[in-house]
């Protein structure tokens, strides 16, 4: 695992530790376990000032993107708010979501989870998130 991946997982893990339990409980255990597993406090130091909004603090761009996706997928319950977020994520009116073959593994894992599947879906290309889930898949076998 490279340094950037460790940074992202450690930042996510630390942020989730500071979020109300009712929200953290909405995230699938598989996702939380993956983030926790790849968090590396020996190599990465995360200092969060809980007196300041998270938006005013420095986090890796991937950390912010994953948190935004978790917010959209698991925390936002109001359909109108969800629709507004969807417009932000996918501004083109003709393309609401990328084609299935271009979605990252995290998206597919969440979809599989919603359908009741516990195993992650295989992918052709490897990217950061895929590498994390590939390693976690090996652990659970």
Helices (H), the chain: 3-17, 21-24, 29-38, 61-70, 79-89, 105-114, 128-140
Q: Which residue has the higher pLDDT, 136 or 7?
A: 7
* CA-wise closest residue to 108 among 94, 86, 127, 82: 127
Please report which helix (H) or strand (E) contains residue 43, including its range.
none
Q: Is the pLDDT of residue 94 over 60?
A: no
* Residue boundaries of the structural domains of the chain: 3-140
pTM score, whole prediction: 0.62
Q: What percent of the chain has pLDDT over 70?
A: 62
* pLDDT tens track for 14-59: 999 999 999 999 999 988 988 988 898 888 889 888 888 888 889 9
Kindly report the backbone phi and psi dihedral angles of residue 5, in degrees, each rounded to the nearest multiple of 5, phi listed first. -65, -40
Residue bearing the bigger pLDDT, 57 or 118: 57
């Amino acid at each position: 695992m490279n340094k950037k991946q460790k940074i992202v997982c450690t930042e996510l893990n630390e942020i989730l530790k500071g979020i109300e339990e009712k929200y953290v409980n909405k995230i699938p255990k598989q996702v939380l376990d993956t983030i926790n597993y790849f968090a590396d406090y020996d190599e990465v130091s995360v200092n969060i000032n809980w007196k300041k909004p998270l938006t005013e603090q420095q986090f890796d761009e991937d950390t912010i993107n994953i948190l935004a996706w978790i917010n959209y997928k698991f925390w936002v319950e109001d359909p109108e708010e969800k629709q507004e977020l969807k417009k932000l994520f996918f501004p083109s009116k003709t393309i609401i979501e990328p084609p299935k073959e271009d979605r990252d593994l995290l998206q597919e894992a969440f979809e599989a989870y919603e359908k009741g599947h516990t195993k992650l879906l295989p992918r052709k290309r490897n990217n950061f998130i895929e590498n994390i889930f590939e390693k976690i898949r090996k652990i659970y076998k």
